[in-house]
């Protein structure tokens, strides 16, 4: 049980009865210090009305009552405020609140500290009409102390304090019981009650530094964004211009379509050379890279287990140096804006995708699982042809080996400079064809 509980039991109540009256000399008298009734000689500290001391009897706890019967209600708060101010008369130590501040140019929270105080009289005339509750000297600075019982300081008051330039602390006694004892009030106002800085130049400096830091950061962000934007625009311009040049260059380029004989044999030549959007991203005309897709990706299965899709095929074409370096890594944002600047442009992977869609539409490709593959009859035809060619080559190789072996047995004079290979291309006199042609049939 603390002192406050005891005080409540003896002299007060939770309904905040008035337990202090004002003597004629201005000092406050506790109910325990006065005689009963009107002879207490006290007035209400709030309204000044005469008080009657009702001392402890059977039914009531001791308290002061207004003599005219009308309780003004302001007494306990006025008393609390006055006792709080009185606590400073003996130049006590008081606890200052923590605050923002600067330490080596950095914004930090400085912890609160207990300081010696010296009560000062308010003897100056204040043009800004600031009348603080208390004016003390602490840490060799002048300090206003506001004791808030019912209302905390509002923005107008804080602004005036800022303009005045004197440090000010507010102590919040709103949660303190209205009938607290002198000792409890002193302890609360000097140490334990919540407190805050209303104005401190150090806090202002720290806040200004924070704002400056924030503005600097914002400016840096804005610059980063502008730089990014400028870089992006340069890249888009560069791509759009390069794309136009690439298309013109490809138009005049003569090349030999890779694996042309195979494509012709399978009947696929009409399906290469499709000018899909984005064909300018490649180093060769459409027929060339499209032949590579059909032959290497779909027939040779060069991607292995990787599903043939636009992106995986693009990687293969990149390795084969079929995609111009400038168009290799194009982000979606850059690609979209480049398409706006140069309508014929599309990124390489999208050109490949358009080509795959074309082949699907022509039944050259069919869907399989998550990917696409050569249409079955085409695939079979192609595989069979490749196999036959391989066997033909193997047979030819065997013949050449045998001829070489026979030639080795002949005397040098008879053999001359003939080899197995040159024999293959010599003409068989009876049929009029080369041995190579005869064996290939």
Q: Is the Cβ–Cβ distance between 30 and 19 less than 8 Å?
A: yes
Residue among 10 and 71 whose Cβ is closer to Zn ion? 71
Report the nearest approach of Zn ion to the CB of residue 47 (Å): 3
350 Cβ neighbours under 8 A, 6+ residues apart: 277, 278, 310, 335
Report the nearest approach of Zn ion to the CB of residue 27 (Å): 17
Name the site residues for Zn ion (rule: CB under 5 A): 44, 46-47, 49, 72
Report the nearest approach of Zn ion to the CB of residue 73 (Å): 7
Residue among 47 and 437 whose Cβ is closer to Zn ion? 47
Residue among 66 and 259 whose Cβ is closer to Zn ion? 66
Residue among 65 and 102 whose Cβ is closer to Zn ion? 65
- Between CA 282 and CA 355 the distance in angstroms is 13
- In a 13 Å sphere around the CA of 212, the CA atoms on its Cβ side amount to 9
Report the nearest approach of Zn ion to the CB of residue 74 (Å): 6
Give the H or E element holding residue 172: strand 167-172
Residue among 50 and 56 whose Cβ is closer to Zn ion? 50
Report the nearest approach of Zn ion to the CB of residue 132 (Å): 25
Residue among 30 and 162 whose Cβ is closer to Zn ion? 30
Report the nearest approach of Zn ion to the CB of residue 50 (Å): 10
Strands 28-30 and 93-96: unpaired
Report the nearest approach of Zn ion to the CB of residue 141 (Å): 38
Residue among 80 and 239 whose Cβ is closer to Zn ion? 80
Give the H or E element holding residue 440: helix 435-440
- Classify each residue of 239-277 as buried b or exposed e, where b means 16 or more C-beta atoms within 10 Å of its C-beta: bbebbeebbeebeeeeeebbbbebbeebebeebbebbbe
252 Cβ neighbours under 8 A, 6+ residues apart: none
- Between CA 40 and CA 11 the distance in angstroms is 16
Nearest in space to 291 (alpha carbons), one of 326, 253, 247, 256? 256
């Amino acid at each position: 049980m603390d002192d406050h509980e005891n005080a409540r039991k003896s002299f007060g109540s939770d309904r905040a009865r008035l337990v202090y009256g004002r003597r004629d000399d201005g000092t406050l008298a506790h109910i325990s210090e006065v005689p009963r009734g009107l002879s207490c000689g006290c007035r209400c500290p709030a309204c000044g009305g005469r008080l009657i001391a009702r001392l402890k009897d059977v039914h009531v706890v001791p308290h002061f009552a207004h003599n005219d019967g009308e309780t003004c209600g302001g007494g306990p708060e006025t008393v609390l405020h006055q006792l709080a101010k009185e606590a400073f008369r003996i130049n006590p130590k008081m606890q200052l609140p923590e605050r923002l501040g600067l330490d080596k140019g950095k914004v930090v929270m400085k912890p609160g500290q207990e300081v010696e105080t010296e009560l000062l009289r308010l003897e100056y005339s204040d043009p800004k009409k600031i009348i603080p509750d208390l004016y003390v000297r602490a840490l060799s600075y002048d300090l206003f102390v506001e004791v808030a019982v019912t209302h905390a300081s509002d923005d107008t008051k804080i602004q005036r304090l800022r303009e005045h330039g004197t440090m000010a602390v507010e102590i919040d006694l709103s949660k303190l019981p209205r009938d607290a004892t002198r000792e409890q009030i002193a302890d609360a106002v000097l140490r334990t009650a919540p407190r805050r800085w209303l104005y401190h130049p150090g806090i202002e400096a720290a806040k200004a530094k924070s704002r400056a830091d924030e503005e600097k950061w914002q400016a840096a962000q804005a610059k980063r964004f502008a730089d990014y934007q400028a870089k992006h625009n340069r890249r888009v311009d560069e791509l759009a211009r390069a794309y136009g040049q690439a298309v013109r260059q490809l138009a005049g380029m003569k090349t030999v379509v890779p694996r042309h004989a195979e494509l012709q044999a399978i009947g696929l030549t009409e399906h290469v050379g499709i000018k899909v959007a984005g064909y300018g991203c490649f180093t060769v005309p459409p027929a060339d890279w499209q032949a590579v897709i059909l032959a290497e990706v779909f027939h040779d299965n060069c991607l292995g287990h990787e599903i043939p899709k636009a992106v995986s095929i693009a990687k293969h074409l990149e390795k084969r140096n079929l995609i111009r370096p400038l168009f290799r890594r194009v982000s979606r944002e850059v690609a979209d804006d480049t398409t706006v600047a140069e309508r014929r442009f599309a990124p390489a992977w999208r050109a490949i995708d358009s080509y795959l869609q074309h082949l699907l539409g022509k039944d050259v490709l069919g869907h399989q699982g998550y990917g696409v593959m050569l249409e079955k009859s085409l695939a079979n035809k192609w595989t069979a042809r490749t196999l036959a060619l391989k066997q033909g080559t193997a047979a030819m190789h065997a013949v050449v080996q045998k001829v070489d072996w026979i030639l080795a047995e002949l005397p040098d004079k008879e053999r001359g400079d003939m080899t197995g290979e040159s024999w293959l291309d010599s003409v068989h006199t009876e049929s009029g064809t080369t041995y190579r042609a005869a064996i290939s049939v």
